[in-house]
Amino acid sequence: MPELQISDAVKISGDWANSQDLQRVVLWDIGPERPKIPPKPKGPLKNEPDYDALRVEYEMALEDYRAALIHYNRLKEEHRIWYARNDGPVELTFWSCDAQVALARDAEAIKEERQDKPRYYISSSTRGYERLPNRGLPPDAIKPGRGQAEQERRIREGEADLVAARKADPVFGEQELRQ
């Protein structure tokens, strides 16, 4: 029986495990965390015996601090743009291998303390996860955002356009009888 390993905790098995549609995994992206401002380095006191050497180390620490502030500003802008666009969690479709990488990188970022909680969660839209509470979002999570509602609206419109195109198709739609 074929099996498809999505992650350590997720395995799909059965005759359908190799189907393309079934190798897709839907993840909730709850967005980037609000970045934390880096701590400012403390300078040496003038009465310390190695003041000049400590002053050089302090200036090097200030350069690192400036670089950390530039990175902080970039992260802050990314956070602002993401929330302005989506206003909450959105569903993203991944291939199973890409979903595994996203979840692994998320876990690695938490382990390295670059973020406090996971950014990605398996959605109840993923086959085999239909019974997840709160559509797969964590219990403390906000409800799906404006970006998710917009995405669902575009999907409905696309499906309606496809139905209209099928009906208008002379071969597969309503066929015109000629005499």
- Residue-wise pLDDT for 70-102, tens only, equals 999 999 999 999 999 998 899 999 998 999 999
User: Of 74, 90, 82, which is closest to residue 141 (Cα–Cα)?
Assistant: 90
Mean pLDDT (whole number) for 114-138: 88
Check: CB of residue 77 under 8 Å from CB of residue 32: no
- Please list, in sequence order, all residues whose beta carbon lies within 8 angstroms of the beta carbon of residue 178, skipping any fewer than 6 positions away: none
Higher-confidence residue of 155 and 2: namely: 155
- Residue 140 confidence (pLDDT) above 80: no
Q: Report whether 3 contacts 11 (CB < 8 A).
A: yes
- C-alpha 27/C-alpha 121 separation (Å) is 5
| β strands within the chain, DSSP E | 3-5, 11-13, 24-29, 90-95, 120-122
Answer whether residue 167 shows pLDDT above 60.
yes
> Distance between CA atoms of 102 and 95, rounded to whole angstroms?
11
At residue 175, does pLDDT exceed 90? no
In angstroms, rounded to a whole number, what is the distance separating the alpha carbons of residues 40 and 27? 37
Q: How high is the pLDDT of residue 2?
A: 59
CA angle 166, 170, 176 (to 5 degrees): 120
Confidence at 129, pLDDT banded by 50, 70, 90: confident
CA distances in angstroms from 142 to 30, 50, 89, 94, 121, listed in the order given: 9, 53, 7, 22, 13
Structural domain spans, the chain? 3-168
Note the pLDDT tens digit of each residue in 5-62. Answer: 666 666 666 555 456 767 889 999 998 999 999 999 888 777 777 888 888 889 999 9
Residue 139 buriedness (CB in 10 A; 0-12 / 13-18 / 19+): exposed
The pLDDT assigned to 109 comes to 93
- Determine the residue type at 89: P
